[in-house]
Chains A and B, each alone.
Chain A
């Protein structure tokens, strides 16, 4: 028996109230996201300092300059390094903590949740200033503690030494946004029906088996969203780097967003703001991320197809 598929228009009409509810958000998206992106596309074709109207047409030269700029590629490398470390470590820690905090028998669970969520509600700029004070502007406080504990021998300029600065940013980044993912995972865990675990227990499943065959599959859909949000958040790393190191020393911690910011508003020294070049860098970065997303989708789909074929 053939089931007649409803046309797209028909399905849209059926779900008209859903679209109506989505309209205000769509309007805001168009005004504050889509329009600025479209408008700034024009700026990519000009050498323009952001004051007055752009007049110095340079065509695609801004894109050429970005592609030829080794600082951009260094910034891209640092961004990917940040994402590659922060996302998996953060998700692993967040899931582990969520599993612990989800235990019914755990005392003071709310207190622990608050403690782990506290960094999230603190502004990155404030955290950056405090860390800057601790590691640098209080001079030798941290170094003296580490030396007394025999962790280090000499003094280390944590934020001024290219061997350590990016590491500090990554560690702070993990700590700062861990709370988000912890809450997301907790929410996901609490949607799993308790009777599934009880049934598994009756069947003789241990903790690990329950985790592997119940928790992980049930968390898969929410997990994909969490991974996606973590990736998006990490690719947007900016404020912590700007406050802690300003991308230095010698671009050792420059990420793409600080690179764009320095182009748009003038960095250190006498560099003139160049909104056109910054727009080109933004677009180029966006194109790279879209290309990566497409590759990721293709790979995931082919893996899913293979899994389904088995």
Chain B
């Protein structure tokens, strides 16, 4: 008997902290209607906790019981909760299964009772559409994040100054064009004396060369970057758009001239970021997420630019389809307090909450007026906020024809990451041939996917990917077909 009690106590002691750690649950004493709220905003937890505090103060009687799940386990945990009828009242919408499937499973509550046309209009045009956050004419979510530049070219102030790359006022002379980058890389490498190089990256996970190619070719006007078809023609255009070959030649020239950090191909991205902070190279292409790590290691002496182009002004931009950016939170179809749940959702989607999100340096807001660099104290993040003008609404085939959600395009191997690695290391010699072969396989995979979906009854065709009226220099609002 005593031993059994002891075992029970031991098991309880072992599991209680483990469960608490797993869930990150933030239990709060209930008073009035209590709402369960789930998210995977681990590094944004302070912002969320503050919003809960403010909401509870403004809505006396309503309390939020927040649970922050581990990011990669969230889809499984949420699906489990939804299937067992214990889904939280308000939640971050899981990335898998697709939102279409979640709606058809009856997991999400339509918001139309509260999300009126006037409520929707505060987000600006083009944010609500069939296939993005609206299904069968009913709205299930709303846009939360704004879009900044997907990738940035970070410049190390110390190395720029050491290489004499400074303006009249002593600030670093940041590169705007491909030639500027070449000149900066050359100056930093020659002043570095074998200890510092112009550019660096960490490609051991296989994506860094794609990032480099993406940011430089987009700036040159290649609207597909390295991850998308060119929606002007509805095809992959690595071989027919000369910017790709031009940039690869430039990259190989940098390598030949010794401007690139020698172990870039085998270093990891995390290590490359550390090397950059240590001043081993002057420029690196990375995302805004790297700023947090640098801040943590007390490295703040850098600036960023984006979309370096062959000419002084970018010929192309980053584009977001309203489909995936147009949602963040949803309400459970099983909630016992739909009005209170919407009040909490509405709070999260408020302009003020969005402004606090930006101020905290967490990202951009769906409200354009919130994306004001002057609101932000930390200079590099303010520079990132300023790049919100470089990310425009672009074509979104699924918004125009939701049937395209049924098209499954098989990934190809070797992919662009592999081909770029092959060209960089010299294993592939023929740039045009390698890109042409890659295009062929990608376009065939796309056509096969469409053909298979059409055969299964979906109303789709390759022309669904063509947006002939798209001007890449202007925001594009998708019109339903």
Seen from chain A, the residues whose Cβ lies within 8 Å of a Cβ on chain B are 71, 132, 135-137, 139-140, 143, 154-162, 165, 245-246, 248-252, 267-272
Contacts and interface: CB of A to CB of B under 8 A. Distances in A.
B280 A161 contact: no
A250 B425 contact: yes
B421 A248 contact: yes
A139 B195 CA distance: 10
Contacts of B422: 249-250
Interface in B353-394: none
A159 to B, nearest CB: 4
Contact of A155 (B205, B262, B267, B410): B262
Contact of B262 (A154, A165, A245): A154
A157 B413 contact: no
A251 B414 contact: yes
B86 interface: no
B421 A140 contact: no
B271 A137 contact: yes
18 contacts: A137-B268, A139-B267, A143-B263, A155-B262, A157-B262, A157-B263, A158-B266, A159-B263, A160-B265, A160-B266, A249-B265, A250-B421, A250-B428, A251-B414, A269-B415, A269-B418, A271-B411, A271-B413
Nearest to A168: B266
B266 A250 contact: no
A189 B417 CA distance: 51
B265 A161 contact: yes
Given A139-B263, A140-B262, A268 B428 contact: no
B207 interface: yes
B11 to A, nearest CB: 30
A13 B422 CA distance: 62
A156 B417 CA distance: 22
A249 B271 contact: no
B262 A268 contact: no
Given A132-B266, A252-B427, A160 B204 contact: yes
B111 interface: no
For the complex of A and B, the 5 pairs showing the least CB-CB separation, nearest first, are: A160-B265, A155-B262, A160-B266, A268-B206, A250-B422
B425 A269 contact: no
A112 B253 CA distance: 50
Nearest to A135: B266
B203 interface: yes
Nearest to B272: A137
Contacts of A270: 411, 415
A136 B271 contact: yes
A245 B425 contact: no
A136 B263 CA distance: 6
A223 B418 CA distance: 42
Nearest to A161: B425
B48 interface: no
Contacts of B271: 136-137
B206 A246 contact: yes
A67 B89 CA distance: 52
Given A269-B415, A272-B410, A139 B280 contact: yes
B264 interface: yes
B267 A136 contact: yes
A248 B204 contact: yes
Contacts of A155: 262-263
B81 to A, nearest CB: 19
Given A157-B265, A159-B266, 6 more contacts: A143-B262, A159-B204, A160-B425, A245-B204, A252-B425, A272-B411
Given A140-B263, A250-B425, A160 B413 contact: no
A52 B369 CA distance: 46
A71 to B, nearest CB: 7
B275 interface: yes
Interface of B: 203-207, 262-268, 271, 275, 280, 410-411, 413-419, 421-422, 424-428
A268 B266 contact: no
A156 B425 contact: no
A3 B453 CA distance: 74
Nearest to B267: A136
Contacts of A252: 425, 427
A268 B410 CA distance: 14
Contacts of A143: 262-263
Contacts of A272: 410-411
A271 B411 CA distance: 5
A94 B360 CA distance: 61
A268 B427 contact: no
Nearest to A69: B413
Contacts of B414: 71, 250-251
A297 B267 CA distance: 44
Contacts of A156: 262
Nearest to B424: A249
A269 B262 CA distance: 23
Which of B262, B275, B415 gathers most chain A CB within 10 Å?
Answer: B262
A107 B418 CA distance: 53
B413 A137 contact: no
Nearest to B271: A137
Contacts of A154: 262
A252 B414 CA distance: 13
A162 B267 contact: no
A139 to B, nearest CB: 6
B206 A269 contact: yes
Contacts of B275: 139
Contacts of B418: 250-251, 268-269
Contacts of A249: 203, 265-266, 421-422, 424-425, 427
B425 A268 contact: no
Nearest to B417: A269
A269 B411 contact: yes
A245 B268 CA distance: 11
A159 B266 CA distance: 6
Which of A137, A161, A246 gathers most chain B CB within 10 Å?
Answer: A137
Contacts of A162: 425-427
A270 B413 CA distance: 9
A67 to B, nearest CB: 15
A140 B278 CA distance: 13
A98 to B, nearest CB: 35
A268 B267 contact: no
B156 to A, nearest CB: 15
Contacts of B265: 157, 159-161, 248-249
A268 B205 contact: yes
A109 to B, nearest CB: 39
Contact of A267 (B264, B266, B413): B413
B413 to A, nearest CB: 6
A20 to B, nearest CB: 39
A245 B413 contact: no
B262 A271 contact: no
Nearest to B275: A139
B426 to A, nearest CB: 8
A154 B205 CA distance: 25
A134 B268 CA distance: 13
B196 to A, nearest CB: 11
Contacts of A161: 265, 425
